Amino acid sequence: MFDRFRTANNIVVDTGPLLIHAVGAFRRDKVKDVCLCDDPEEEFEFLNKLFTSRKQFYITPYILSELLYKLRRELKLKEKDVEEFFCRYRDFLNTIGEFYIEKGKLINHKRIKFGLADISLMLAYKEKGYLIISGDEVFCRLCEKENIEFIEYKTFFFNRIFM
């Protein structure tokens, strides 16, 4: 798994790791509410270093949409707060590439029950070979079953391989 990260140039990011980073960049005091491990500050710093490494990271529009939904829910953001979030986080989001998936490929996918965001990640791998980084254990098990290369975020965080 970690060898694949070292050789991967393109990595598509699931909502979980992106949410932690976004919350840390916007409301550092709230990272503890969304982190996946036990040390919120260290987890944010880890992701910050990861996203500024030499790798090219991507998201899909469905991941961006899911991020906004989760930010609104977790931080109880109102409209003005959403605007403020995008003003602060826009520059970072612009550094991340975008992988577009046609809606027909998503809604006709055999695994549609897992949702548009997850299917978009799977198709990013199938169509472009992008390695996936995810904190969603159920999704990671699905990737394993489908022979899709992924890095499970908690394991990656605890091993800090890229540093």
Residue 37 sits in a domain whose CATH number is: 3.40.50.1010
Q: How far is CA 130 from the centre of its chain?
A: 13
Q: What is the pTM assigned to this prediction?
A: 0.91
C-alpha span between 6 and 4 (Å, rounded): 5
3 state DSSP class of 161: coil
**Has residue 159 got a pLDDT over 80?**
no
- Among the residues of 11-136, which ranges form H helices? 15-26, 31-34, 40-51, 61-75, 79-95, 103-107, 116-128
- State pLDDT tens for residues 99-123: 999 999 999 999 999 999 999 999 9
- State pLDDT tens for residues 4-41: 787 888 999 999 999 999 999 999 999 999 998 888 99
Domain count, the chain: 1
What domain range is 36 assigned to?
A: 2-159
**Has residue 2 got a pLDDT over 70?**
no
Length of the chain: 163
